[in-house]
Amino acid sequence: MKTKKYSAVLGLTALLGTTCLVIPAMAGGLYGQPVGGMKDSVVIEDGMAIPAPIPMEETATWYIRGDIGFGWHGDASGSHNALNYPNAAVSDIDSALSIGGGIGYYFTQNFRADLTFDHRTDAETGGTQVMDPTNEGPDLKNQTLLANIYYDFKPASKFSPYIGGGIGLAFNELNMSGSAGSYTVQNAYGQDVTVTQRALDDKTTEFAAMATVGVNIALRENLFLDIGYRYNYLGEAKLIYERTETAAALGGAAASVARSTNTLSLDSMSVHELKLGLRYDLY
């Protein structure tokens, strides 16, 4: 019997000793403090062990961007049914600079989209017998409003190639300010002919599209340099204008006035651009 009593006493003593060791250790873990070797995964709150929160890395959702570019237009196809220049076509369009900006959204690390607006400087059109004796045509003015989507191949690296595409609207204008007004030429009979021209309608809104490739270079955590190539489809531009030709009487040739409404159109316009831009992430 004594042996059993001694065994019970020893067991109770061991239990109390263990409790005395555990309680002080737990005391340091009360009210959200970590406990022992589990400090990275468990905290004690109100005496209950719960998993510790895992810190989440903050990522950007929105961004803003700004771009500049240099563009050269593709071959122009068009027509011009002026009174004395039947079907005289525009043969070329000058190069132009562009400036633009937009706001975008990250759907995933790889996919993002943005809404952009770009303005291009005036590009002079030219060709055989376009608008006046100097063979100068109207200036092409253009802006585009596009919704775009991109795929970034290596968004976590310093250099991340990307591809993208977009659709939207092109606002085209053929401004004849340089060819408007009056000038004088001689006809086949030697008569002086005064030509007066004025625009009736020179603006069109067309479907537009773009395709782009390039590379993003991380300058800092939320700032990127964008270097790329962009192809833009701009649709059609059309100018409707009135032309009046007044010939003075000369010898046997009587005075005459001829008035016509003419249309100069550029079809399936496009512009190739090299662009440089900055993208800034908003958190």
Is 100 in the same domain as 142? yes
Q: For 251-267, how does the pLDDT look when each residue is reduced to its tens digit (9 = 90+)? A: 666 677 888 888 888 88
Q: What percent of the chain has pLDDT over 70?
A: 68
Is 45 in the same domain as 69? no
Is 201 in the same domain as 142? yes
DSSP 230-268: EEEEEEEEEEEEEEEEEE--BTTBPPEEEEEEEEEEEEE
The more confidently predicted of residues 121 and 88 is: 121
- The answer to whether position 137 is within a domain reads yes
Is 43 in the same domain as 78? no
Q: Which of 7-16, 117-126, 140-149 has the lowest mean pLDDT?
A: 7-16
Q: State yes or no: pLDDT of 12 exceeds 60.
A: no
Q: Write the secondary structure of 182-202 as one string of H (helix), E (strand) and C (coil).
A: EEEEECCCCCEEEEEEEEEEC
Q: What DSSP character marks residue 83?
A: S
The per-residue pLDDT of the chain, averaged, comes to 78
Given the DSSP bridges, would you call strands 136-152 and 159-175 parallel, antiparallel or unpaired?
antiparallel
- The answer to whether position 73 is within a domain reads yes
- The answer to whether position 57 is within a domain reads no
Is 95 in the same domain as 44? no
Is 9 in the same domain as 87? no
- The answer to whether position 56 is within a domain reads no
**pTM of structure:** 0.71
Q: State yes or no: pLDDT of 73 exceeds 60.
A: yes
Is 132 in the same domain as 267? yes
Report pLDDT for 111: 97
- The answer to whether position 235 is within a domain reads yes
Report how many domains make up the chain: 2
Is 122 in the same domain as 171? yes
Which amino acid appears at position 251 of this protein?
G
Residue 164's CATH number: 2.40.160.20
- The answer to whether position 230 is within a domain reads yes
Which amino acid appears at position 141 of this protein?
K
- The answer to whether position 76 is within a domain reads yes
Is 200 in the same domain as 247? yes
Domain span at residue 16 reads: 2-51
The more confidently predicted of residues 204 and 53 is: 204
The answer to whether the CB of 264 falls within 8 A of the CB of 131 is yes
Is 68 in the same domain as 37? no
Q: For 127-184, how does the pLDDT look when each residue is reduced to its tens digit (9 = 90+)? A: 644 555 555 678 899 999 999 999 999 998 999 999 999 999 999 998 876 566 677 7
Q: Report how far Cα 67 is from the mean position of its chain's Cα atoms.
A: 8
Is 130 in the same domain as 265? yes
Report pLDDT for 78: 73
Is 101 in the same domain as 139? yes
